[in-house]
């Protein structure tokens, strides 16, 4: 347990520095982690014998931030995705590579690519205080849900949740993670939001917390499906026993679209 905590400290320090310093440093740091996630996904796919078209995958990941920030937001991202898709077909035609190589490249551009774009979008919210608050909400919801789902499952788990995908997860753990994750988001809304210039009814955070807690667990299960498909335990080893960066962000990726939508709604009321 101590070793796992020590491995987690650098990632926690990076997250704190991104939220605190924000600005260009935070955006570049988040964008760089996105490239690492793309690298891990394409490497895992390669374990099955597939050959993702890596130059296009890396280019897509590298360009996500500048395109979103300076070329039209999500409209720019969709244009980038279209250009990358055309590039994949051109490579397939000219090289004679297997069609599956193109499919796995497209998959990587969607997961983690397009989902990660929403994390970048949260970082690029023009209201810096709101951006910081939404980052805190996203990572807190994920961390609290995952942590309590694990400990409640260990202490009280009796019924398997979806053993074909994740044998260790239990129904009791899922319920515990959802309840405590929802409560954590509600408390953030009730006690912390005003410090970041947000002033909506705290009860909205009950609904937000419930949705985020449920999606957090689906994000974890979705990542497990991919890892089982390719016969690996972790996406990488950069965080030691915690695996790769994708292993730490799989839940966050699933909830970032909802967090971004929530930030958009509350900034336009």
What local confidence, expressed as pLDDT, does residue 190 receive? Answer: 94
Distances (CA, A) of 122 to 23, 26, 129, 140: 12, 11, 11, 15
Burial class (CB in 10 A: 0-12, 13-18, 19+), 260: buried
What local confidence, expressed as pLDDT, does residue 269 receive? Answer: 59
What local confidence, expressed as pLDDT, does residue 10 receive? Answer: 76
Radius of gyration of the chain (CA): 19
* CB 42 within 8 Å of CB 29: no
Average confidence (pLDDT) over 229-238:
83
What local confidence, expressed as pLDDT, does residue 105 receive? Answer: 96
Which token pair is 158?
Answer: 């009796």
Kindly report the three-state secondary structure assignment for every residue of 31-59.
HHHHHHHHHHHHHHHHCCCCCCCHHHHHH
pLDDT tens digits for 37-63? 999 999 998 887 788 999 999 999 999
Which sequence spans correspond to the domains of the chain?
2-266
Distances (CA, A) of 178 to 80, 113, 144, 213, 254: 36, 26, 9, 5, 15
Which token pair is 261?
Answer: 């939508």
Residues 6+ apart with CB under 8 A from 237: 243, 244
Tell whether the model's pLDDT for residue 241 goes beyond 90: no
3-class secondary-structure state, position 161: strand
What local confidence, expressed as pLDDT, does residue 237 receive? Answer: 78
Tell whether the model's pLDDT for residue 135 goes beyond 90: yes
pLDDT tens digits for 180-219? 999 999 999 999 999 999 999 999 999 999 999 999 999 9
Confidence bin at 92 (pLDDT 50/70/90): very high
Tell whether the model's pLDDT for residue 95 goes beyond 80: yes
């Amino acid at each position: 347990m101590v070793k796992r905590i020590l491995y987690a400290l650098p990632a926690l320090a990076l997250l704190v520095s991104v939220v605190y310093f924000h600005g260009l440093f935070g955006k570049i740091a988040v964008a760089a982690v996105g490239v690492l996630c793309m690298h891990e996904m394409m490497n895992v796919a390669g374990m099955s014998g597939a050959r993702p078209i890596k130059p296009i995958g890396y280019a897509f990941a590298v360009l996500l931030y500048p395109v979103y920030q300076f070329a039209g937001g999500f409209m720019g991202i969709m244009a980038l995705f279209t250009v990358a898709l055309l590039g994949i077909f051109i490579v397939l035609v000219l090289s004679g590579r297997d069609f599956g190589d193109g499919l796995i490249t497209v998959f990587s551009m969607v997961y983690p690519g397009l989902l990660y774009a929403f994390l970048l979008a949260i970082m690029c919210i023009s209201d810096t205080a709101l951006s910081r608050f939404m980052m805190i909400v996203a990572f807190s919801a994920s961390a609290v849900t995952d942590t309590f789902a694990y400990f409640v499952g260990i202490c009280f788990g009796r019924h398997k949740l979806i053993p074909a995908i994740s044998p260790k997860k239990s129904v009791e753990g899922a319920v515990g993670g959802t309840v405590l994750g929802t409560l954590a988001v509600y408390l953030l809304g009730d006690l912390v939001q005003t410090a970041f210039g947000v002033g909506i009814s705290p009860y909205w955070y009950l609904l937000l917390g419930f949705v985020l807690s449920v999606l957090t667990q689906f994000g974890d299960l979705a990542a497990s499906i991919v890892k089982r498909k390719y016969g690996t335990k972790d996406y990488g080893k950069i965080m030691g026993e915690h695996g790769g960066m994708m292993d730490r962000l799989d839940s966050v990726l699933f909830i970032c679209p909802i967090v971004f939508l929530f930030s958009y709604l509350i900034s336009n009321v």
